[in-house]
């Protein structure tokens, strides 16, 4: 197996949020100024330690939690050791929520080299936002996007959700119409998953009917494609080839460094996850827990999510596996859902819809 001790992609996790959404199962905690200051001391230590193994950063992704809850001064302080590492062609994304964003913050992001923003919009419908426990005013989104563009940040993505309680096909369509008004190049769209540990999970909220969810997904793909967006990953659409370069690192089976409370990384063939407990992190640092990765299966699982598929030659080179031979039965079983194009095994649109079943079948082959 190829060992790569030096990654060129870095994920930084900011675990603070101004409120906790009832569906959320991420590593997050309510914003607290004292904790943020203590967390900053610890994460800056972790950044300095991890950067010793890195020459340059090609993709930097600050996610959360809600990174935009940090004040400009706190963000400055977080950035100071990272900026000199950015390579010439870097992509630097920050996740933001509309309610914690301002013109001043966007200016500060731009000054520190941020060139991509992922905005958590979730829906433009005030009633659905209320169900989701989100507190922003959807009528502000258009202005906010314009302010990003005015600051010179043109690589913009928003997150939307579907399969929400009381959301029908028409509502999903309306949200997409609002998205098109923004004239931006990227959309990530996720169905609501009722995680056991979330507030919704504990309240026994029921998921929407599976058939309705499948119809909504099909409609989303159709509408997005008809507006010139490429369906390049199961939940992602891009125009003008503005793919998320950072996420492509995950999907292309490459290694990356994770920094911060609750962050995960993948280095030297292993995955690690730092402690999710903010007090433990502040007191003792990252305390990563390592796990072995079933690397060949991971390559299939990630590759089939994208329209680029699994590179069959790369699979042979890295893991000495001839997937056409080893996965012959599964590939035969999904004749209309899997295809081989340019030595890549890819999902067709119907395959994307059946991805879970396809992966379960591949998993059996790799067990």
Toward ligand SF4, which CB reaches closer, 28 or 231? 28
Distance CA 158, CA 167 (A): 19
Token pair, residue 46, equals 């972790």
Q: Does 64 bind ligand SF4 (CB under 6 A)?
A: yes
Q: Are 12 and 274 in contact, with CB atoms under 8 Å apart? A: no
Toward ligand SF4, which CB reaches closer, 96 or 184? 96
Distance CA 142, CA 217 (A): 24
Token pair, residue 70, equals 């940090």
Q: Which stretch binds ligand SF4 (CB under 6 A): 59-67, 209-217, 275-283, 339-347?
A: 59-67
Toward ligand SF4, which CB reaches closer, 81 or 195? 195
Q: Does 65 bind ligand SF4 (CB under 6 A)?
A: yes
C-alpha R_g of the chain:
21
> Which residues in the 82-101 window bind ligand SF4 by CB under 6 A?
97
Which DSSP string corresponds to 88-122? EEEEEEEEE-GGG--HHHHHHHHHTT--EEEEEEE
Q: Does 21 bind ligand SF4 (CB under 6 A)?
A: yes
Pairing of strands 16-17, 29-30: parallel
CB of 285 to ligand SF4, least distance (A): 22
Q: Does 24 bind ligand SF4 (CB under 6 A)?
A: yes
Distances (CA, A) of 111 to 59, 70, 85, 248: 17, 16, 15, 25
CB of 16 to ligand SF4, least distance (A): 8
Toward ligand SF4, which CB reaches closer, 169 or 205? 205
> Which alpha helices (DSSP H) does the chain contain, by range?
33-51, 72-79, 103-111, 126-132, 141-150, 169-181, 199-202, 210-226, 245-251, 278-284, 295-303, 312-319, 323-326, 328-333, 349-353, 355-366
Residue of minimal Cβ distance to ligand SF4: 24
Q: Does 28 bind ligand SF4 (CB under 6 A)?
A: yes
Distance CA 337, CA 234 (A): 14
Q: Does 66 bind ligand SF4 (CB under 6 A)?
A: yes
Is residue 91 exposed (0-12), middle (13-18) or buried (19+ Cβ within 10 Å)? buried
Q: Does 123 bind ligand SF4 (CB under 6 A)?
A: no
Q: Does 17 bind ligand SF4 (CB under 6 A)?
A: yes
Toward ligand SF4, which CB reaches closer, 20 or 324? 20
Q: Does 26 bind ligand SF4 (CB under 6 A)?
A: yes
Distance CA 360, CA 355 (A): 9
CB of 68 to ligand SF4, least distance (A): 10
CB of 30 to ligand SF4, least distance (A): 9
Toward ligand SF4, which CB reaches closer, 19 or 348? 19
Q: Which stretch binds ligand SF4 (CB under 6 A): 17-25, 110-118, 155-163, 271-279?
A: 17-25
Token pair, residue 279, equals 């007090």
> Which residues in the 265-324 window bind ligand SF4 by CB under 6 A?
none
Residues in touch with ligand SF4 (CB under 6 A): 17, 20-21, 24, 26, 28, 64-66, 97
């Amino acid at each position: 197996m190829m060992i790569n001790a030096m990654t060129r992609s870095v994920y930084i996790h900011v675990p603070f949020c101004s409120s906790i959404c009832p569906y959320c199962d991420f590593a997050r905690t309510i914003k607290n100024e004292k904790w943020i200051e203590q967390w900053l001391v610890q994460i800056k230590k972790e950044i300095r330690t991890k950067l010793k193994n890195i020459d340059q950063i090609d993709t930097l992704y600050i996610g959360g939690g809600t990174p935009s809850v940090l004040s400009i001064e706190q963000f400055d302080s977080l950035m100071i050791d990272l900026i000199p590492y950015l390579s010439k062609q870097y992509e630097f994304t920050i996740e933001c929520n509309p309610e914690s964003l301002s013109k001043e913050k966007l200016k500060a992001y731009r000054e520190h080299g941020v060139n991509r923003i992922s905005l958590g919009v979730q829906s433009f419908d005030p009633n659905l936002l209320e169900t989701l426990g989100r507190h922003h005013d959807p009528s502000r989104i258009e202005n906010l996007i314009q302010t990003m563009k005015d600051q010179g940040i043109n690589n913009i993505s928003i997150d939307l959700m579907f399969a929400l309680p009381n959301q029908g096909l028409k509502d999903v369509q309306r949200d997409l119409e609002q998205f098109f008004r923004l004239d931006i190049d990227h959309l990530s769209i996720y169905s609501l998953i009722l995680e056991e540990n979330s507030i919704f999970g504990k309240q026994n909220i029921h998921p929407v009917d599976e058939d309705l969810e499948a119809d909504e997904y099909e409609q989303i793909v159709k509408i997005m494609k008809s507006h010139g967006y490429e369906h390049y990953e199961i939940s992602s659409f891009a125009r003008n080839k503005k793919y998320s370069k950072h996420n492509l690192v995950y999907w292309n089976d490459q290694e990356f460094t994770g920094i911060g409370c609750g962050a995960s990384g993948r280095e030297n063939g292993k995955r690690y996850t730092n402690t999710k407990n903010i007090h433990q992190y502040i007191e003792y640092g990252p305390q990563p827990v390592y796990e072995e990765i079933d690397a060949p299966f991971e390559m299939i699982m990630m590759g089939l999510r994208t329209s680029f598929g699994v590179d069959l030659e790369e699979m042979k080179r890295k893991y000495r596996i001839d997937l056409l031979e080893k996965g012959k039965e599964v590939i035969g079983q999904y004749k209309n859902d899997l295809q081989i194009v340019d030595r890549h095994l890819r999902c067709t649109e119907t395959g994307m819809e059946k991805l879970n079943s396809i992966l379960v079948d591949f998993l059996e082959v790799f067990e």
